[in-house]
Amino acid sequence: MGIRMADLLEPDTLEGKIKYQVEEKNIWFEKVYNHTPVNVEAVLNEYLTYGEALKSYIVETSIELEKSIERGNHVYLKGLKG
């Protein structure tokens, strides 16, 4: 379960995804690496800060592509597998 840019603007969604990832990784940190677990709230607050800083750059890509095509611009797309 990855984190998308749009998730940075949705605190509830972001919290669920971060909680899932951090809890899973904390098992490894504690049991395998004998390391202190990561605090979910600290990570969430850090990523919410990123979302606030980046929100003016996060847009619905399909709408922006459609607008660009309507203006007659060429749009090049590249897809990746994996």
Residue 77's pLDDT is what? 82
Residue 81's pLDDT is what? 75
Residue 82's pLDDT is what? 63
Query: For every one of its 82 residues, what pLDDT tens digit does the chain have, with 9 covering 90 and above?
Result: 789 999 999 999 999 999 999 999 999 999 999 999 999 999 999 999 999 999 999 999 899 999 999 999 998 888 877 6
Distance CA 41, CA 22 (A): 10
CA separation, residue 17 to residues 3, 8, 10, 36, 44 (Å): 7, 10, 11, 21, 10
pTM of the model: 0.74
